């Protein structure tokens, strides 16, 4: 099956700093989503981005489908950005299954 690798596994930032999280995937995808798991364990949708670039406030994401990677940018980080960031992909296939394969996540800690 498709492999999803996220880097770095852990990241510690000073409040106000910028960061880039990376997601590599091993095959073509129909769907790619970025999630933020907050300290309460909830998975919050950040972006649906199988290709191209999107921005939402201090967050932006870029997926280069032909090179099989996606980047999540966090600017001016805040302590509320802490948590685990997951990348999840749906492999391209005609089988009609929309299952997402998740990476192991990047654990972000933003310190005051």
Binding-residue pattern over the window 78 to 97 for other proteins, x denoting contact by CB under 8 A: --------x-x-x----xxx
Torsion of CA 30, 26, 23, 55, to 10 degrees: -30
Is position 99 an interface residue for other proteins (rule: CB under 8 A)? yes
Residue 53 binds other proteins, judged by CB under 8 A:
no
Shortest Cβ 87–other proteins spacing (Å): 11
Distances (CA, A) of 40 to 35, 43, 72, 83, 92: 14, 9, 22, 9, 32
Burial 21-50 (b: 16+ CB within 10 A, else e): bebebeeebeebbbbbeeeeeeeeebbebb
* Nearest to other proteins of 105, 108 (CB atom): 105
Residues 6-45: x where in contact with other proteins by CB under 8 A, - otherwise, as a string: ------------------------xx-x-x----xxxx-x
Name the minimum Å distance from CB 99 to other proteins.
4
Residues lying near other proteins in the complex (CB under 8 A) are found at: 30-31, 33, 35, 40-43, 45, 48, 50, 86, 88, 90, 95-105
């Amino acid at each position: 099956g498709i492999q999803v690798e996220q880097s770095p596994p852990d990241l510690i930032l000073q409040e106000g700093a910028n960061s880039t999280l990376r997601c590599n995937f091993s095959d073509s995808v129909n769907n790619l989503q970025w999630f933020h798991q907050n300290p309460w364990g909830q998975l919050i949708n950040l972006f649906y981005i199988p290709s191209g670039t999107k921005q939402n406030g201090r967050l932006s994401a870029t997926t280069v489908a032909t090179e099989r990677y996606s980047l999540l940018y966090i600017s001016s980080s805040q302590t509320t950005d802490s948590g685990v960031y997951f990348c999840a992909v749906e492999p391209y296939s005609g089988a009609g299954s929309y299952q997402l394969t998740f990476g192991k996540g990047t654990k972000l800690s933003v310190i005051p």
